Structure 1
Amino acid sequence: MAPLETYAITLPVRDYTPRHFLLEVDGKTATITLNRPDRKNPLTFQSYAELRDLFRALQFDTEVKTIVITGAGGNFCSGGDVFEIIEPLLSRDMPGLLQFTTMTGELVKAMRACPQPIVAAIDGICVGAGAIIAMASDLRVGTTGAKVAFLFNRVGLAGCDMGACAILPRIIGQGRASELLYTGRVMSGEEAERWGFFNRLADAGSVLSEARKLADSLSAGPTFANAMTKRMLHMEWDMSVDQAIEAEAMAQAVCMKTEDYTRAFNAFAAKQKPVFEGN
């Protein structure tokens, strides 16, 4: 079945040519572009699987330090393709449906597990699974013209798709997440920024460059420590405050043994700006 497709992605990722989207590695930043602009960049069984496998591979890529994900043609992503995903699912049995829903969830798991911070550059339509990909990113740069919607209940499904009920409330709060997931309504770009879903707004013509600028600034930082921050942000969802404090004590002690920590002290002592190398 299509959802069981896998893609052999060898390292370094910069040498991989995807079949179902675009990938560019510039310096330490990888940019993934969903590239079906004539349809507002919908996902297919194959693009879901290839994205999942790419993010899994990125866990082990030592060259890429940050990731940008965006869409071509002025839109981010219109969700699952109506005729290539939605319609075929109508004829699947329960095991086949569970294969699909498990695979889509694995994409979010892979995004959260890869150590590199992910910056989403969002313009235009960002709905359904597209909104989930934006949500699963670490940071989001949007435009006033962006339209974000978790549409699942509008097609007769629960709003709890691909981790939405766990992740979205942690970004914008329980009440606001409940409203979006129960109603499936569109959240405007200004509202998304005001509610904290977008970290910042940019003009449509510069949203990708602003996202890359943010990603590059993270790539120039202490990338081992950034990866540790991402891991702790994810792990501490399931911890008590006391457990989180203990886990952070261990994480910080590990970071204190990095060369970047020593570089930071030496630069401070010399009244210079530290140049981090990620080790």
Structure 2
Amino acid sequence: MEVEHPEPGVALITLSRPERLNAISAELIADLHGALEEVERDRAQRVVVLTGAGRGFCSGADLKASADGELTEGAGQSRLGAIYDMQLDLANLMLKIYELRVPVIAAVNGVAVGGGLAIALHCDVRVAASSARFGSVFIKVGLSSLDVGNSYLLPRLVGVGRARELMLTGRIFDAEEAERIGLVLRVVPDDQVVPAALEVARQIAANSEYGVWMTKLGANAALDAPSLRHAMELENRTQVLGTFTGNMTEASAAFRDRREPRWNPL
């Protein structure tokens, strides 16, 4: 795992198993958990850009490792227990991305299938390289397409009917289709995917810490709101609380003085 800080407030995290297209292993899960926890602790970090080293974003579960017996059971543990523990670790990783204090932008280069698709789905924004390929391929390995949040997020992003077709067929689809169905924000040349994601990160980081934090938290909560009224009640409290940060007053002063606002810290 590589963690860089290309500009103030932005953490660039790169999955780094290029020899296996950044396939998911126990080590990769643990390393990404650690990198995200580091961002969570550092209040100076405002946005994360997540990408993959080499030719792929993430090719999903490391089937070669499973075939070679690289997954080992702990003392007094069955193989079922070992696999279930790894599944829980992976599911908790997805939740960590989804619930992270700051937004996460996926810069999808190359293949993003299976667990790699799930990682991208749990990010707040997705930018794709023209070479990007996506697929809910869990069903192709004898399992189902119900895995680590896929069945929850994909229908909310692309619609129920389209999501079911993608999940039931497990077919691979390209970046152009991903943009057309609303899965990704935009498609850019391969060498521009990280710069494009950094540009989105820069726009987010220019807003107040409170505003970005509450927008991510509230948007996640509103997604599950049982009614419009419930969502509005959450919004009302969030907006009123926001007036006590002093940032609305600062925004008015900045507009009057024709300058950029100097946001108060959270």
What's the TM-score, normalizing by structure 1?
A: 0.87
SS of the counterpart of 2:190? coil
Pairwise mapping of residues 153-192 of structure 1 onto structure 2 (< 5 A)? 153-192=139-178
Aligned to 1:197: 183
Aligned to 1:139: 125
- Which stretch has the larger CA shift, 254-263 or 159-168? 254-263
RMSD between superposed Cα atoms in Å: 1.9
The partner residue of 1:217 within 203, 226, 229 is: 203
| 1:143 positional shift | 2.1
8 Å contact 1:45–1:84 — kept in the other structure? Answer: no
1:198–1:22 Cα change, 3 Å: same
- Which stretch has the larger CA shift, 85-94 or 240-249? 85-94
Q: What is the rounded CA distance, in whole Å, between the counterparts of 2:259 and 2:39 in structure 1?
A: 33
Aligned to 2:256: 269
Pairwise mapping of residues 92-103 of structure 1 onto structure 2 (< 5 A)? 93-103=79-89
Aligned to 2:26: 45
| 1:278 positional shift | 4.6
Asked if 1:245 is matched to 2:226, the reply is no
8 Å contact 1:220–1:276 — kept in the other structure? Answer: no
- Which stretch has the larger CA shift, 168-177 or 233-242? 233-242
1:225–1:94 Cα change, 3 Å: same
| 1:86 positional shift | 6.0
Asked if 1:228 is matched to 2:208, the reply is no
8 Å contact 1:22–1:33 — kept in the other structure? Answer: yes
Instruction: Give, as a single letter, the amino acid of the residue that structure 1 aligns with 2:241.
Output: V
| 1:262 positional shift | 2.2
| 1:259 positional shift | 3.3
Structure 1 residue ranges without an equivalent (≥5):
1-20
Structure 2 residue ranges without an equivalent (≥5):
none
Q: For residues 54-102 of structure 1, what are the alpha-carbon distances to aligned partners after superposition, in whole Å with 9 as ceiling and x for unaligned?
A: 3244333201100000011232111122232465469853332221211
- Which stretch has the larger CA shift, 39-48 or 79-88? 79-88
Q: What is the rounded CA distance, in whole Å, between the counterparts of 1:85 and 1:276 in structure 2?
A: 50
Q: What is the rounded CA distance, in whole Å, between the counterparts of 2:256 and 2:162 in structure 1?
A: 46
Q: What is the rounded CA distance, in whole Å, between the counterparts of 2:264 and 2:14 in structure 1?
A: 27
Aligned to 1:260: 247
SS of the counterpart of 1:206? helix
Asked if 1:81 is matched to 2:62, the reply is yes
Identity level (%):
31
SS of the counterpart of 2:48? strand
8 Å contact 2:129–2:192 — kept in the other structure? Answer: no
Aligned to 1:4: none
The partner residue of 1:119 within 88, 105, 116 is: 105
What's the TM-score, normalizing by structure 2?
A: 0.91
Q: What is the rounded CA distance, in whole Å, between the counterparts of 1:28 and 1:122 in structure 2?
A: 21
Asked if 1:208 is matched to 2:194, the reply is yes
- Residue correspondences, number: 259
